[in-house]
């Protein structure tokens, strides 16, 4: 596979500022590879990282073909990676390409997203080798900050919507992974996210629970009561009205979800998690087509020296809601705020409450009755001999929605990585892999 | 005041192993001072610190007088101190004695507990100077590990109960502090403590809330529901039966508590905490004569790398109950376990729960209609011209109960420090002080 070994050896970790040079080096390497295939490349300078004195890596825009009789497809991928170190528990050096006994290729970025990115170049190469014309005009959009919040991308999209990306017919994103290990997936839905902070303020600092326990209004008591009012142990969100606008799941969609061949690991994340639903379709619907509320933790807003019997004076609770079509962020926020404030009044607490929506990203749900999807299905059938699963996923990928909204275009997510690639693995029990079939 | 300056200059910090030599140096200095006053001193070797290869400082036992016609009083104090450094925010070098403009004496240990300890020697000196006989036989019990859990003391007490401490008529502990800044206090009650861990085990490691939120049984949800079932925002413990054996507060005791002149800082801990009770007597009863349940925090039992949208796989919740007369630890533990297990079954969770009582110490509540207390009241009236407050305190001092149980003796706590001495201060906003009146 062309270039993957060289690409893996460049540790283009975007989140580590002292390694930012490597991301630029990766961009340079990539531009050279692209140009050697006859792709016209422009590097867009995205300026400084917001609030910091460090340059953002360039957005690499490439054009291959300009035949007005062909459709023009924008292909998105990214050339930065997550951090990795052998000491995290990897079996092999993460920034070297290692072929395992089963043929799979390991190394940081093989699956997310250098392998999938290079697939586009391998594909052009294969057409050239076969003496055939690539049947579409391609516009490449390769970024170097995906693992660090895609900084600068949304602005660049807006800027180029009337420029480099003006005449796009559809978008294809090759990131993320298949839902299973045995069948490719097209992703038509992604959940949105609303991230909340609950601050409860009782005292200027912590108190000794021996001296003051029983006499002070304790923020922890309020916090667990508020959090318990949000969701129950069966996963049901208890905020009144929150399910009102949720797009129902059709009988056909439910049937298809039940028929996907999911491994136990795919269902429980490979962590022996306890599933709330025995039925596979219920399970997949719960994690992709319904909203979910997760309580992430309670932190001390004014941490002290860790004495074990303190009454924390100020605390911060964090939770998030994954949203789905057709929920409206403003409306949901109103419901959540009203619910928490009413519950707090009901507690009769003397502490101060503030609830803040600190982060948000809308859901994505694409029309699949479109030539963009039909083409992706047909291509999958030709290469793999199977019809792909078409799924909604639980996670949030803001750029999918950005492409859809800004370019007013149909977007298909066509993952290359398998469900068991663990592309962000931190503990080294599993290694990023990419299915060698697609890279062969 | 005899010797206080020299005592403060020895940084006898017991919890820092590399400063343990200073604790031994302090013992040596103290033995010399005691012997110079005619006190017969024995140093009891307490062996190694449990689980460590470091010697415990000696228990210093002194005898002064052996007149069979006089009562024999055991006086307890300690010669080790908490750590301190100028960089913590002290106004002056903590291991030097500094006299402030208002006459108060500052330095680590002035109030806790070198000042109070030296009071005993100053007292003998004063009697000598006045040509009068000390009206009691005194047995001193000075330890050097109080700030590190009084390691070795309980065993030594048992060993000496038929030895050095065989013929004790009563015990006087000069540690802790007055309840207020304007009137001495005798302490007749201390709360016990029961410390709990709640472990909820959902998965082997954390999951991504985007990918799995809604499909997994989340330990955080169970935890906040369990914790919310323990105590309400008014401070009421919700475990059925927990108040059954609590010794009622008499009308007389309530009246006395209402009449103590407490400053706002004494009431709210100087941290602008929100009081649950407007009425002072209710407030003091809530923190000293009633049980209290404080939720200390929720920690991740298998912490990861702090991603903000995870579903924690395993978590640990910590809470404690302060107990009062006449609660029984075994019975309360049964009630707590039964309540939490019933609540958990009710939640219908698929996770695993375990509840562990990880620490315990019984309450202390002393008979005040005893010559030991009458003598302490009389002495306070003679020195200060006021009748002392007699209070129960909310904190736990296990040694008070050890002396009472092992020596089968009445115990009075006669603090020397004032309510605003902040003897364990870490942030340096306030300094340990001792009322110079008592040291004059």
Distance of CA A292 to the CA centre of its chain: 16
CB B351 within 8 A of CB B339: no
Confidence category of residue B104, pLDDT binned at 50, 70, 90: confident
| pLDDT of B399 higher than 90 | no
> Which pLDDT score is estimated for A44?
96
Here the tokens at position A3 are 């270039």
CB contact under 8 A, B217 and A205: no
> Which pLDDT score is estimated for A429?
30
> Which pLDDT score is estimated for A25?
97
Which residues, numbered 229 to 248 in chain A, qualify as contacts with chain B under a Cβ-Cβ cut-off of 8 Å?
A: 231-235
Indicate the pairing of strand B433-434 with strand A410-413: unpaired
B252-266 pLDDT per residue, tens: 999 999 999 888 888
Mean pLDDT for all residues in chain A: 90
A301-358 pLDDT per residue, tens: 765 544 568 899 999 999 999 999 999 999 999 999 999 999 999 999 999 999 999 9
B200-254 pLDDT per residue, tens: 999 988 888 888 999 999 999 999 999 999 999 999 999 999 999 999 999 999 9
B91-102 pLDDT per residue, tens: 889 999 988 888
Confidence category of residue A1, pLDDT binned at 50, 70, 90: low
CB B60 within 8 A of CB B146: no
Residue A408, chain B, CB below 8 Å: the answer is no
Residue B153's nearest CA partner among B207, B212, B74 is: B74
Q: What percent of chain B has pLDDT over 90?
A: 73
What is the rounded average pLDDT of the residues A104-120? Answer: 91
A370-387 pLDDT per residue, tens: 999 999 999 999 999 999
What is the rounded average pLDDT of the residues A180-198? Answer: 92
| pLDDT of A426 higher than 70 | no
CB contact under 8 A, B287 and A214: yes
Calpha distance B77→B109 (Å, rounded):
12
Q: What percent of chain A has pLDDT over 70?
A: 93
**Averaging pLDDT over each range in A106-120, B342-356, B378-392, which range is the top one?**
B342-356
Residue A181, chain B, CB below 8 Å: the answer is no
> Which pLDDT score is estimated for B424?
58
Query: What is the distance between the terminal CA atoms of chain B, rounded to a whole angstrom?
Result: 6
> Which pLDDT score is estimated for A417?
81
Mean pLDDT for all residues in chain B: 90
Residue A310, chain B, CB below 8 Å: the answer is yes
Residue A211's nearest CA partner among B403, B265, B83, B151 is: B265
Task: List, as one string, the DSSP characters of A76-107.
Answer: EEE--B----GGGT-SS-TTS-EE-TTS-EES
Calpha distance A336→A320 (Å, rounded):
11
> Which pLDDT score is estimated for B302?
63
> Which pLDDT score is estimated for A265?
79
CB contact under 8 A, A227 and B232: no
- Which of B234, B284, B426 comes nearest A348 by C-beta? B234
**Whole-prediction pTM:** 0.86
Calpha distance A177→A113 (Å, rounded):
10
Residue B401 distance to chain A (closest CA, Å)? 16
> Which pLDDT score is estimated for B438?
30
A62-93 pLDDT per residue, tens: 999 999 999 999 999 999 998 888 887 788 89
- Which of B195, B296, B349 comes nearest A233 by C-beta? B349
């Amino acid at each position: 596979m062309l270039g993957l070994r060289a690409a893996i050896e460049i540790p283009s970790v975007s989140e580590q500022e002292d390694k930012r040079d490597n991301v630029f080096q990766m961009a340079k390497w990539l531009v050279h590879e692209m140009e050697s295939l006859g792709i016209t490349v422009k590097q867009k300078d995205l300026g400084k990282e917001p609030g910091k004195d460090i340059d953002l890596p360039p957005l690499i825009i490439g054009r291959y073909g300009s035949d007005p009789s062909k459709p023009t497809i924008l292909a998105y991928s990214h050339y930065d990676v997550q951090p990795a170190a052998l000491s995290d528990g990897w079996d092999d050096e993460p920034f070297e390409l290692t072929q395992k006994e089963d043929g799979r290729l390991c190394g940081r970025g093989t699956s997310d997203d250098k392998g999938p990115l290079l697939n586009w170049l391998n594909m052009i190469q294969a057409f050239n080798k076969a003496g055939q014309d690539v049947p579409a005009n391609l516009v490449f959009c390769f970024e170097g900050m995906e693992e660090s919040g895609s900084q600068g991308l949304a602005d660049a999209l807006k800027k180029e919507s009337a420029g480099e990306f003006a005449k796009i017919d559809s978008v294809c994103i090759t990131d993320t992974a298949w839902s299973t290990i045995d069948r490719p997936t097209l992703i038509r839905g992604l959940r949105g996210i609303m991230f909340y902070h609950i601050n409860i303020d009782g005292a200027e600092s912590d108190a000794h629970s021996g001296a003051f326990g029983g006499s002070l209004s304790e923020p922890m008591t309020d916090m667990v009561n508020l959090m318990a009012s949000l969701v129950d142990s069966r996963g049901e969100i208890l905020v009144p009205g929150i399910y009102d606008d949720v797009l129902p799941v059709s009988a056909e969609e439910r049937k298809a979800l039940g028929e996907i061949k999911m491994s136990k690991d795919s269902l429980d994340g490979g962590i022996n998690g306890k599933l709330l639903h025995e039925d596979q379709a219920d399970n997949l619907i719960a994690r992709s087509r319904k909203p979910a509320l997760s309580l992430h933790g309670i932190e001390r807003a004014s941490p002290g020296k860790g004495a074990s019997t303190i009454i924390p004076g100020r605390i911060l609770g964090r939770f998030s809601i994954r949203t789905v079509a057709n929920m409206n962020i403003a409306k949901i926020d109103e419901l959540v705020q009203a619910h928490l404030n009413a519950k707090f009044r009901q507690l009769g607490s003397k502490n101060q409450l503030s609830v803040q929506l600190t982060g948000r990203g809308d859901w994505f749900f694409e029309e699949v009755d479109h030539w963009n999807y039909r083409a992706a299905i047909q291509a999958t059938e030709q290469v793999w001999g199977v019809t792909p699963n078409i799924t909604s996923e639980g996670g949030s990928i803001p750029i999918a929605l950005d492409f859809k909204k800004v370019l007013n275009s149909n977007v298909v997510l066509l993952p290359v990585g398998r469900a068991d690639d663990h592309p962000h693995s931190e503990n080294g029990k599993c290694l990023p892999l990419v299915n060698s079939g697609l890279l062969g």
